[in-house]
Structure 1
Amino acid sequence: MAVQSAPEKALETVGPPSAVEEGEDARVRKKKGTLQDRQDMWRIGREQELNRNFRFLSVLGFTAVLMCTWEAVMFGSQYGLLDGGAAGMIYTYIGAIVGFSAVILSMAEMASMAPTSGGQYHWVSEFAPPSCQKFLSYITGWVCVLGWHTGIAGCSYTVANMLIGILAINYPDSYVPQGWHGTLFVMAVASVAFIFNTFLAQKLPLIEGIILIVHCFGFFAILIPLWVLAPTSPPSKVFGSIEDRGGWGNNGLACLVGLVAPIYALIGPDSAVHMAEEIKDASRVLPLGMVWTLILNGTTGFVMLITYAFCLGDIDKLLEIETGFPFIQVFLNATNSVGAATGMTVIIMILQFCAAISNVATTSRQLYAFARDNGLPFSSFLAHVNPRYTVPLNALCTSLVIVCLLSLINIGSAVAFNAIMSLGVAALLSSYIISTCCLRLKRWRGEPLPPARWSLGRWSAAVETFAILFLLVVYVFSFFPLTRRVDAETMNWSVVIFSGVVLFALSYYFLYARKVYSGPVTRVKQLM
């Protein structure tokens, strides 16, 4: 292990906590969590700053709503319908759920080993070979920062476009969407989500539990009308209609390009990792929450996708609609009522707004954790925890500013949404690949790993290997444009933004960060 940094030497003189200290009041005990939480924080060399007020159900609600899987299979369907068609969407979803299960299981085990708000960049720092752990963890921290900020932008943009779609179907003759409408709506959504994460921060676990109930009831509120009212296509058309509308010349390649849609619907169970220091009994509750989120959302997403595929009708007409989301037209076709279609869309819009709330919380914690390790400009400012609200308020404000700036990038066009969606997917996949590869290499070399209360046992190596292979394939296609005919309107500009952020991070590293950033491993202690 690397040598501890000077500020942490005081912690080294004291062994791991073995009992609750005498004289602690209820507030202090609530903040510090269980004895295992204290031992975990001692091992990673950090003092407890945030309140541990999340339990299993609130963690499940947090991650399940952030993923919004059954909702996302519909509002991301335009990409799957273009590259793969109805059957392609179904088969790529099945492939994605199998591959992503391996990814989440591997990450759940890492989360049990080191439950910290740093998440992936901490794991890389701890598991990577000593020769490159500093640099790799730094890069991983930056791509996580990028991925989660685009997650807020993506959620806010989706809510904004749904609102524009509702206005379009209710006022078809008088409302003309403008690009600046989307920009203002994105800023409004992000601002309200910021308020929830500031003034209501200590009530967030309760809010997330309530939202989980809405998430489950909303599923049936959408599913039942589609089952009862919508005209359906024959099974032969649904399961046998793999189509290449993107002009790739091969149905298999078209489906691989369309993988971004199911991955976007499934990505995010690791969000709870960045809330680890606010979860009671985190090394057990956190991995369980991740796994059960995958089960709950994976299942409901598949049921909704099959139902949606049967109700599509003419796919070519759906892709030409002006609302921006084919599912709004599917609701309209199913109910033959603008009011009913509006109500169904509002349910999804509300849940996606709730996802934005969870995204803001995750992003601010990841930003706060990386800043306290001096990985970012103005790190001392970003790592400050506001004593009144007990949240990293400066990190929250910074995230809001970044999202508002992102909303200015061609907001109001499908090109912008595709770029934001692909950028978030590619950035988070990068962090998954690096962290899982580091763990697999350490296990392959037979080097000791921290104990895990939730473990895959003898299956760990095989699951990690499969997860890496799957991630590499998906990562490549996350940068592909939606069609083979590429121009300024169809180009996937996410690769440009991703490259720009990485180049900035590298420049900052070699100019300054390498002098102050050592990585979390410098504080990690061995448990005897």
Structure 2
Amino acid sequence: MADIKVAESHVDSEQFHSEDGEDNAFISEKEGTLADKRDMARMGKRQETRRNFKSITILGFTMVILSTWEAQLATAVFALGNGGTAGLIWGYLIVMIGFGFVVASMAEMASMAPTSGGQYHWVSEFAPRSCQRFLSYMVGWLGVLGWQTATATVTYLAGHQVQGLIKLNHPEYESKPWQGTLLIWAILALGLLFNTFFSKRLPLIEGIIVILHVAGFFAVLIPLWVMADRAPASDVFGLFADNMMWGSTPLAVMIGLVGAASCFVGIEAGAHMAEEVRDAAYVIPRSMMWTWVVNGLLGWIMAITFCFCVTDTLGVLLTPLEVPFIQVFYNTTGSVGGATGMTCLMLVIAVFASVAVMATNSRQLFAFARDKGVPFSSFFGQISPTLEIPFNAVVLTLIFVLLLSLINIGSTVAFMQVISLGVAAMLTTYIISISCVALKRIRGEPLLPSKFNLGKWGLPINIIALIFLVFFWIFAFFPSAPNPKVADMNWAVLGYGVVIIFSIVYYLLRGRHQYVGPVEYVRKGQ
């Protein structure tokens, strides 16, 4: 019985934390701190990976994986076409504030149960006993879908930047979808390399890249401030536009918010690396909150700057370079070399964001396989004894994205709907996991102890987060323009439905006989 098991784990984990602070004592690189060892024991899990990440390096990892100011530039075209510059600026701020409640809610859960499973594990521990196993199973599948499509999205955007660079330096070049697919494969190959042979150096590598992430922000921002022709402030902050002719500017602005939301989806990435972080129950929630604050502010400042530089919105949207921010860089500097240098800086960060997304993706898949949630669980739930990483899960991620990228050859528009598919899947996992915690609070049931406790503000924060998430979940399925043709439809709803149906069928035929949910292992670990 899930509720009884959670109550039991609450009592035991209280005993785990010593009052003299010795639970933070470092044991070894394998085990982490005494608190890490006790948390793993409470959750019924065996420590198989090394805890290479410390507080600074995991913060760098989570900041790079979102790369919010870079993602904002890459997705700004969607908000510009649906809401104009004012819609982009104020919409982004609304999204950032709303995600603050979401992040706080998940950070608390990440401290209660610091495991690579993330949302599906939290649902298993906090959901009502009548639906605990099924909901956890569905959230596990949607989490796998969300992170797999995130890998495809980030690698595509990085490859698309390469094509824009080539077009900038060689105007006669005509980009082909199959070339974009090959670039995706090349970036995936780099991701495989850094997630296998250089896996032990990944904290150091991502730590170096986060320095580039912050320094690069100023390297891009300062030229835009100093050199660009500026649009009037009254237009930038006050001009809302419906360039896609939805017939309603407020509706267009709301649809444009999905682009900003995609910059924050995946912010719980650090939680999926929890079993490789020292003192994870303390470090992970704080890295999530700092990532939200720092990346969020950098993204908003960049959004405002970008909008001041867009003096000709239609010209930027229809740029022959096919990448609007590269056109803005070129307009600003008046130099191919200058625009190339600024774009190359973003490209390096994008490539290593792909590496980080692949790492997070493989850990989430490994955790779900470890709990027998996917076919061939015993194979994908293994840790390589030599590399000490979930190697089989990394390879499956590579193969899945390789196959998914073939869609780009047939239709780039259809492939871009993968972004909406991933956003919808991840938002669903957030909604269900936060709902479970909110329900326990409403019922007055005890929660697990947390080193990031929301206290009396927990329920209001959870409810605001849910209202915000449901709103965006609906708009994630909208097409990018009204009255779309078949090729321009948002087929994310189809992919979402297929995964839901497949997971339900698999659950009924096989999953319910194998998958019991992490809460069972919690009980056995006590």
TM-score for both structures, normalised by structure 1:
0.94
Q: Shift in Å at residue 490 of structure 1?
A: 2.3
- Provide structure 2 residue ranges, at least 5 long, that are not aligned to the other structure: 6-11, 20-25
Q: Distance in 1 between matches of 2:105 and 2:65?
A: 20
The DSSP-based 3-state class of the residue aligned with 2:273 is: helix
Q: Shift in Å at residue 417 of structure 1?
A: 4.8
Q: Distance in 2 between matches of 1:185 and 1:460?
A: 45
Q: Shift in Å at residue 410 of structure 1?
A: 2.6
Q: Distance in 1 between matches of 2:412 and 2:297?
A: 28
Look up the match of 2:339. 341
Look up the match of 1:99. 98
Q: Is the Cα–Cα contact under 8 Å of residues 231 and 310 in structure 2 kept in the other structure?
A: yes
Q: Is the Cα–Cα contact under 8 Å of residues 17 and 42 in structure 1 kept in the other structure?
A: no
Q: Distance in 2 between matches of 1:190 and 1:235?
A: 41
Q: CA RMSD in A?
A: 1.9
The DSSP-based 3-state class of the residue aligned with 1:197 is: helix
Pick aligned residue for 2:302 from 290, 301, 304: 304
Q: Is the Cα–Cα contact under 8 Å of residues 16 and 42 in structure 1 kept in the other structure?
A: no
Residue 69 to residue 80, structure 1, CA distance change in 2 (3 Å): same
- Provide structure 1 residue ranges, at least 5 long, that are not aligned to the other structure: 6-11, 20-25
Letter aligned with residue 352 of structure 2: C
Task: Show CA shifts across 1:457-516 (max 9, x none).
Answer: 111110000000000000000110011121123211111111111111111111111100
Task: Show CA shifts across 1:379-430 (max 9, x none).
Answer: 0000110011000000000000001011011348551353021111111101
Q: Distance in 2 between matches of 1:413 and 1:260?
A: 21
Look up the match of 2:273. 275
Letter aligned with residue 470 of structure 1: F
1:54 aligns with 2:48: no
Q: Is the Cα–Cα contact under 8 Å of residues 414 and 488 in structure 2 kept in the other structure?
A: no
The DSSP-based 3-state class of the residue aligned with 2:268 is: helix
Q: Is the Cα–Cα contact under 8 Å of residues 233 and 313 in structure 1 kept in the other structure?
A: yes
Q: Distance in 2 between matches of 1:527 and 1:402?
A: 34
Look up the match of 1:73. 72
Letter aligned with residue 72 of structure 2: V
Letter aligned with residue 306 of structure 2: Y
Letter aligned with residue 426 of structure 2: L
1:41 aligns with 2:52: no
1:379 aligns with 2:377: yes
Look up the match of 1:226. 224
Q: Is the Cα–Cα contact under 8 Å of residues 4 and 523 in structure 1 kept in the other structure?
A: no
Q: Distance in 2 between matches of 1:157 and 1:412?
A: 14
Letter aligned with residue 482 of structure 2: R
Letter aligned with residue 82 of structure 2: D
Q: Distance in 1 between matches of 2:319 and 2:134?
A: 47
Look up the match of 2:474. 476
Look up the match of 1:396. 394
More displaced stretch, 498-507 vs 424-433: 498-507
Q: Shift in Å at residue 17 of structure 1?
A: 9.5
Where do 1:188-199 residues align within 5 Å? 188-199=186-197
Residue 471 to residue 481, structure 1, CA distance change in 2 (3 Å): same
Look up the match of 1:512. 510
Q: Distance in 2 between matches of 1:181 and 1:508?
A: 36
Letter aligned with residue 298 of structure 1: G
Look up the match of 2:136. 137
Look up the match of 1:22. none
Q: Is the Cα–Cα contact under 8 Å of residues 168 and 176 in structure 1 kept in the other structure?
A: yes
Q: Distance in 2 between matches of 1:475 and 1:306?
A: 26
Task: Show CA shifts across 1:32-74 (max 9, x none).
Answer: 1111111110110111111011111111111111101001111
Q: Distance in 2 between matches of 1:128 and 1:3?
A: 8
Q: Is the Cα–Cα contact under 8 Å of residues 405 and 415 in structure 2 kept in the other structure?
A: no
Q: Distance in 2 between matches of 1:322 and 1:182?
A: 16
Q: Distance in 2 between matches of 1:342 and 1:414?
A: 24
Q: Distance in 2 between matches of 1:131 and 1:151?
A: 32
Letter aligned with residue 142 of structure 1: W
Look up the match of 2:201. 203
Letter aligned with residue 108 of structure 2: E
Letter aligned with residue 506 of structure 2: Y
Q: Is the Cα–Cα contact under 8 Å of residues 44 and 524 in structure 2 kept in the other structure?
A: no
Q: Shift in Å at residue 4 of structure 1?
A: 12
Q: Is the Cα–Cα contact under 8 Å of residues 247 and 485 in structure 1 kept in the other structure?
A: no
Letter aligned with residue 221 of structure 1: A
Q: Distance in 1 between matches of 2:58 and 2:261?
A: 21
The DSSP-based 3-state class of the residue aligned with 2:385 is: coil
Q: Distance in 2 between matches of 1:390 and 1:58?
A: 18
Q: Is the Cα–Cα contact under 8 Å of residues 3 and 523 in structure 1 kept in the other structure?
A: no
Q: Is the Cα–Cα contact under 8 Å of residues 177 and 412 in structure 2 kept in the other structure?
A: no
Query: Between the two proteins, what is the percent identity of the paired residues?
Result: 48
Task: Show CA shifts across 1:3-37 (max 9, x none).
Answer: 999xxxxxx9xx96989xxxxxx9x7211111111
Q: Shift in Å at residue 142 of structure 1?
A: 0.4
Q: Distance in 2 between matches of 1:516 and 1:489?
A: 40
Q: Distance in 1 between matches of 2:184 and 2:33?
A: 39
More displaced stretch, 62-71 vs 484-493: 484-493
Pick aligned residue for 2:500 from 497, 502, 512: 502
Q: Is the Cα–Cα contact under 8 Å of residues 43 and 525 in structure 2 kept in the other structure?
A: no
Letter aligned with residue 93 of structure 2: I
Q: Distance in 2 between matches of 1:423 and 1:224?
A: 35
Letter aligned with residue 136 of structure 2: S
Q: Distance in 2 between matches of 1:512 and 1:171?
A: 54
Q: Is the Cα–Cα contact under 8 Å of residues 63 and 268 in structure 1 kept in the other structure?
A: no
Letter aligned with residue 103 of structure 1: V
Look up the match of 1:117. 116
Look up the match of 1:367. 365
Look up the match of 2:325. 327
Q: Could you list the runs of 4 or more consecutive aligned residues of structure 1 that deviate by over 3 angstroms after TM superposition?
A: 1-5, 15-19, 411-414, 525-528
Letter aligned with residue 341 of structure 1: A
Q: Distance in 2 between matches of 1:316 and 1:2?
A: 55
Q: Shift in Å at residue 323 of structure 1?
A: 2.5
Q: Distance in 2 between matches of 1:503 and 1:323?
A: 40
Q: Shift in Å at residue 105 of structure 1?
A: 0.4
- The count of aligned residue pairs is 512
Where do 1:155-170 residues align within 5 Å? 155-170=154-169
Letter aligned with residue 277 of structure 2: I
